[in-house]
Structure 1
Amino acid sequence: MSPFPSDLIPDILCWLPVKTLLRLKCVSKPWRSLIDDPHFAKLHLDYSLRTSTCVECDDKAYAVDFDSLDNLVHSLALSKSRYLLPLDDDIANDHDSLPGNHYDKNTVLGFGYDEISNDYKVVKMLRSKTQNSFKVMVYSLKADSWKRIDDFPYDFPTNYNDGAYVNNALHWVGDEIGEFHGGQVIFTLDLATEKYYDVPEGDTSFKIKKCGGDCPYFGYMNAGVLGGCLCVSRDYSTCPVEDHINVWVVKEYGVKESWTELLYLSRDQWLTNIFHTRAVGYSKNGDKVLLDDGGGRQPAWFNLENETGETLRIAGAPQLVSTTIYVESLVSV
C-alpha cells in the first residue's frame, strides 16, 4: 500500500524529469496509465516550465544540471546546429519524422501548436536563389503533409532565427516591401488562419531607416519570447553612432500601448565582446535576463536591478552559435 494518498501521486510525479517518468511506467499498470494520460502530460508540462536543465548540442547532446547556473526559468539548449533535437535516446525514440525534410542555410523555420485545430505545425520558408522572395510551406501533423501558403510578404527576414511562438502565432522580423534594408517590421503568421499580420507597435522606434546621423547601420533586430510575452531585441552595439542594445516586451499581446522597454545598455557598460544580442529568458526570481550572443560566444546574464552583467561560463561547452529555451514534456506529437 502506498504511503501517500492516491490523489497526491500525480502532483508528486509531475516534478520528475521525463526520463525518470518513462522508467516509472514499469512500476505498475496504474502508474503506466497515469503517465500515459494526456491530462497528466499537460499537467507535467505546466510543472516543467519551472524546471532547470541545461543542454549542450554539438554533434551529440549532453544534459547537465542548470540549477548551478542561476536557475533559469526554463531549460536551456546550447546548439551549434539548427536542426539537432534528439536530447535523450529514450525520449528521441518517441518522435515523428517530417516528409520532405530538406533544409539549407537559406531556410527559415518555425514550430508551434495550433490551439484552434489541436494540431502541431511546422513552417518552412525557402528563399529563392534567383529573386528576393520566400516560398512558404506549412506541415500539419494531423494531415501528415506539407502544403504551400501565400509567399512571405516582406523582402526577407533580417536574420534566419526560428519563429517566436506566442498567442497561437509565430513571429519574425522582416524588411518592408520596396525598402531594401529599409524600415523593419515585426510580423506574425497565425497558425489557425495561416495568414500574415503586422504586430501593432508602440513608441519603440522600430521602423527607422538607419540608426542616426550619417551612419548607414541598421542594427540587428530579433523577435523572441520572455516570460510568455513577445519581446524584441535590437542591437546597435557595433554601430559607431548609437552603440547600444535594448529589449522591449509586449505586456499585453496586441495592445501597442503595452510595449515596455525592459533594458537599455550601452557598449561601454560591459558588453565589449558580445554582438547580435537577443534576450533568451529570465532567471527564476526574475531579476536577471539571459542574453545570447549570435556571434558565437558564451551567453551572459544581465542584472535588471543594478544594470550589471557577467558572462555565463559552462565548463566544457564549445563555442556556441545559438542558445534557446528547451522544456521537457510528456506531450506526444
Structure 2
Amino acid sequence: MAMAQLPQDLIEEILSWLPVKSLMRFRCVSRTWNSLIFQAHFVKLNLQRSSRNTHVLLRCQINTVFEDMRDLPGIAPCSICSLLENPSSTVDNGCHQLDNRYLFIGSYNGLVWLINLVARGEFSEYRVWFCNLATRIMSEDSPHLCLRSCNYKLWWYQVKCGFGYDDRSDTYKVVLVLSNIKSQNWELRVHRLGDTHWRKVLTCPAFPILGEKCGQPVSGTVNWFAIRKLGFDYEWETVTVDQLVIFSYDLNKETFKYLLMPNGLSQVPRGPELGVLKGCLCLSHVHQRTHFVVWLMREFGVENSWTQLLNVTLELLQAPLPCVILKPLCISENGDVLLLANYISSKFILYNKKDNRIVYTQDFNNQVPMSSHDYIQSLVLPYGN
C-alpha cells in the first residue's frame, strides 16, 4: 500500500514514535507533514513517546588559547552511553558555543533558557531567550523585566533563577528570585512562555539560598539548597544540620515550602550541591572530610524517600583534601556506573559502585563541564503554541 493511501491517523501514529532529527528531515515530504509536525497535540504525543534518561545537557566552559580572550560559555547535549564510553571526545564534539553576553540557566523538555542583564543608568533590565537545540528554533527575547537598581541586589551572584514545566497548566515558566533591599525579603517574579509580561507572584522572608544560581526543576517545582534562618547574613561554621533545607517553589500553586535533608545526614556537609539525576532530585557532598556521598529523592516531596546512591572514599576517587570539588554528571541505566567530574585535577572519573572501583579517569580537554542537566530532544516550540 502506498504511503499516500494510508489513513492520516495511522501516519500520525507512526511519525509520533520517530526521533526529532528524523522528523525535521521529513518536514519536506509534504505540506501536510510539515504542518503536522509542529501541531501542539503532535508535539506532546512525540514528547510522551520519546526515550527519557538517555541524554544530559552539560553546561561547559570553553577554554581558549588566546590570552586576550576570557573562557567562553557553551552547552553540550550528550548521549549518556557516549559519555560513559568517552566523555572528553563526546563533550568536545557536541559543544555549542554561546554568546558570552548570555548566561545559560536551565533546560526542560528540550527547551533551553538563556538570560542577560543590561544596566541602563539607575535601572537594570533582564532579558530572556528560549531555544530548542534539536530543531534549531530560537525565540525572540521575552518582555523585559525592568527594575530600579537601588531597590534590589542585582549582581549575578545575588539573584537566583529557575526554569521548569507546569504540567497542570501546560506552560513553561521562568522564575527570578530577587533580594529586596528595603523589605529584606525575597521577591519571586515569573514569566510564562508566550506571555507579554512578568508577574510578581509572592514574597517570603529573607534566608540564605546557596549553591548554583540555577534552581533544579523536578515534578513541576524549582528547587534550591538553603538555610532556614532569618536574614541573609550567616557564618557557615555556625550553621547546624537541622537548619539545612531545600527551598522548593511550586510552579502551579505559586507557593513555596521547605524540604528536609536526608535522615542519614548527621552533620553539616562540606560543599553540598543540588542536581537532578534520572529525573530525581540529587544532593551530593563531602562527609567527614573522608567520603563523597550522593543522595537521591526517589519520590519527589517525600522526605523519607531519600536514598543513599553513593558513599565512596576520597582516597579511592583520587580527590584528597583540603581542596575537593566533585560533581556527579550522569549515571548508567542500571545505576551501577557514575560519571563524576573532579574539578581540582580537571578529570572525568568513571566509577563502578557495584565493584567499588574506578574504571578510568580522563582529562577534560578544552571543554570543562560545569553542571549537568536532564535533557530530551523534543519538538517543543520556544515561543509557546
Band of TM-score, shorter chain? 0.7 to 0.9
Name stretches of at least 5 consecutive residues in structure 1 with no aligned partner.
Answer: 211-217
SS in 1 for 2:157: coil
Structure 2 contact 162–222 (Cα < 8 Å) conserved: yes
Q: Cα deviation per residue 1:193-215 (whole Å; 9 max; x = unaligned)?
A: 22110114441326x4x4xxxxx
Aligned pairs for 1:1-333 (under 5 A) are 1-2=2-3, 7=10, 10-11=13-14, 14-18=17-21, 20-46=22-48, 47-49=50-52, 51-52=54-55, 57=60, 58=62, 59=72, 67-70=81-84, 83-84=103-104, 85=112, 91-100=135-144, 104-127=156-179, 134-178=186-230, 180=234, 181=236, 182=239, 183-205=243-265, 208=267, 210=268, 218-236=269-287, 241-272=288-319, 275-293=324-342, 297-310=346-359, 313=362, 317-332=366-381, 333=384
Percent of paired sites with the same residue:
24
User: Does the C-alpha gap of structure 1 residues 3 and 92 become closer, same or farther in structure 2, counting only changes over 3 Å?
Assistant: closer
User: Does the C-alpha gap of structure 1 residues 132 and 266 become closer, same or farther in structure 2, counting only changes over 3 Å?
Assistant: farther
Q: CA RMSD in A?
A: 3.9
Paired residue type of 2:248: T
User: Structure 2: how far apart are the matches of 1:154 and 1:311?
Assistant: 44
Structure 1 contact 56–317 (Cα < 8 Å) conserved: no
**Cα deviation, residue 170, structure 1:** 0.9
Match of residue 151 from structure 2:
none
Match of residue 124 from structure 2:
none
**Cα deviation, residue 94, structure 1:** 3.7
| 162-171 or 221-230, which deviates more | 221-230
Paired residue type of 1:186: I
Structure 1 contact 48–329 (Cα < 8 Å) conserved: no
Structure 1 contact 292–322 (Cα < 8 Å) conserved: no
Structure 2 contact 330–372 (Cα < 8 Å) conserved: no
Structure 2 contact 177–189 (Cα < 8 Å) conserved: yes
User: Structure 2: how far apart are the matches of 1:308 and 1:87?
Assistant: 39
User: Structure 1: how far apart are the matches of 2:374 and 2:210?
Assistant: 21
Structure 1 contact 132–156 (Cα < 8 Å) conserved: no
In the superposition, the TM-score normalised over structure 2's length comes to 0.67
User: Structure 2: how far apart are the matches of 1:197 and 1:295?
Assistant: 35
User: Structure 2: how far apart are the matches of 1:259 and 1:24?
Assistant: 44
**Cα deviation, residue 330, structure 1:** 0.4
User: Structure 1: how far apart are the matches of 2:214 and 2:325?
Assistant: 15
User: Structure 1: how far apart are the matches of 2:82 and 2:4?
Assistant: 32
Name stretches of at least 5 consecutive residues in structure 2 with no aligned partner.
Answer: 63-71, 105-111, 113-129, 147-154
Instruction: Give the length in aligned residue pairs.
Output: 317
Q: Cα deviation per residue 1:221-253 (whole Å; 9 max; x = unaligned)?
A: 2222222222221234xxxx4332211112223
**Cα deviation, residue 188, structure 1:** 0.5
User: Does the C-alpha gap of structure 1 residues 126 and 258 become closer, same or farther in structure 2, counting only changes over 3 Å?
Assistant: same
Match of residue 116 from structure 2:
none
User: Structure 2: how far apart are the matches of 1:31 and 1:314?
Assistant: 45
- Choose between structure 1 and 2 for higher RCO, CA contacts under 8 A separated by at least 6 residues: 2
Paired residue type of 2:244: Q
User: Structure 1: how far apart are the matches of 2:362 and 2:206?
Assistant: 38
